[in-house]
Structure formats: structure tokens, C-alpha cells
């Protein structure tokens, strides 16, 4: 899951305490989808166009889990059990779900693995990650759909077409 918000720093460095307070800022958008659906590409595009910062939720949770605070220990325990960590911060203004077929995500992830020379992304491993993603995310997506915050975007097309759809969805908030 990615997080787009208007005032956080770009990925690559830990958040400062005052920056964590920005998680309560005016606009928070969760971006959800399986490996290879285009989350990273589209979050970077949205960050550039709208002045958002792209923060990977996994990165935030891993940073917090390394701390010896009560919250850090709780997050670490949940992650070690392979469970979903409850959302940190306030609720999002919108959740964008990139809907993509398993075959497309497998092929994109395999291609990305070749480019990055990653040997840990076999087709079997990718399919297992996708199955886990679908199983774990479905209750979360249902929750946001019931709150009328979920926006599905078909992510099978070219990146520029997917980005155009993202812009329409984001512009609808303003």
C-alpha cells in the first residue's frame, strides 16, 4: 500500500517527528494493488503533478517497528505473525485500487525483476505474494467501499492512460 499526501518528504529518509504530524494533513490518499499493478509508477507521477509526497506504508511501518517504543513493539509483533497492521494516522480521504489481472501483474513483476536483476522473484513466489495480497486486502477494500472511499482503476492499459484515470479521480476531490 502506498500513501500519497501533500506535505510529507519523499521516500528515502526516515520521517522527522514534525513530519509525522503531517499524516493528519488535509489530503491523504491510499493507493492499493498487487505487486506489478503500477502503484509505484503512478504514485511518483501523482507526486510530481500534484506536489504530493509518496510514502510507502510498508516503509513507515518497518521504521516504526525498529523502535523500542510500545507502538514499535506492537507493530513488530503483528508483522512477525504475518498479519495486517491497522492503519496508522487518520483515515484516508480516498483509496485508489489498481485493478489488474494476475497474469499482467506476474509478467510485469518478472520483467521488473530482470531489469533489477532480482533472483528472489520467481514466478511461483510472485503468484504466492499475489494470492496473499488478495486474501489480506479484501476485508480492507470492503471496509473502504462501504465508506464510499474506494475508487477502482483498471490498470491494464499503458501507464499514461492509467495516470489520466488517476488524475480524474484526484481532481474529483477538489
Q: Which CATH architecture has domain 2-171?
A: 3-Layer(aba) Sandwich (3.40)
Confidence of residue 11 (pLDDT cuts 50, 70, 90): very low
> Can you give the residue ranges of every domain in the chain?
2-171
Mean pLDDT of 45-58: 86
Per-residue pLDDT tens for 97-152? 999 999 999 999 999 888 887 776 788 888 888 888 888 888 889 999 999 999 99
Q: Quote the pLDDT of residue 8.
A: 43
pLDDT score for 16 = 64
Q: pLDDT band for 6, please (50, 70, 90 cuts).
A: very low
Per residue in 52-77, pLDDT tens?
A: 888 877 777 778 888 888 888 888 88
| Helices (H), ranges, the chain | 17-20, 39-50, 57-65, 70-80, 102-116, 123-146, 159-171
Residue 25 — very low, low, confident or very high, per pLDDT cuts 50/70/90?
Answer: low
Q: Which of 1, 32, 35 is nearest to 108 (CA)?
A: 35
Amino acid at each position: 500500500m502506498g500513501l500519497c499526501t501533500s506535505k510529507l518528504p519523499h521516500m528515502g529518509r526516515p520521517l522527522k517527528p514534525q513530519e509525522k504530524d503531517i499524516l493528519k494533513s488535509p489530503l491523504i490518499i491510499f493507493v492499493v494493488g498487487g505487486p506489478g499493478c503500477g502503484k509505484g509508477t503512478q504514485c511518483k507521477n501523482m507526486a510530481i503533478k500534484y506536489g504530493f509526497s509518496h510514502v510507502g506504508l510498508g516503509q513507515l511501518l518497518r521504521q516504526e517497528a525498529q523502535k523500542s517504543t510500545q507502538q514499535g513493539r506492537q507493530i513488530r509483533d503483528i508483522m512477525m505473525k504475518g498479519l495486517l497492521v491497522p492503519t496508522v494516522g487518520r483515515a484516508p480521504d480516498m483509496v485508489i485500487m489498481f485493478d489488474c489481472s494476475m497474469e499482467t501483474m506476474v509478467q510485469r513483476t518478472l520483467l521488473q525483476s530482470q531489469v533489477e536483476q532480482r533472483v528472489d522473484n520467481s514466478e511461483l513466489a510472485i503468484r504466492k505474494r499475489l494470492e496473499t495480497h488478495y486474501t489480506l486486502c479484501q476485508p480492507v477494500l470492503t471496509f473502504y467501499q462501504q465508506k464510499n472511499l474506494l475508487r477502482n482503476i483498471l490498470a491494464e492499459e499503458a501507464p499514461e492512460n492509467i495516470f489520466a484515470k488517476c488524475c480524474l479521480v484526484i481532481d474529483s476531490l477538489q
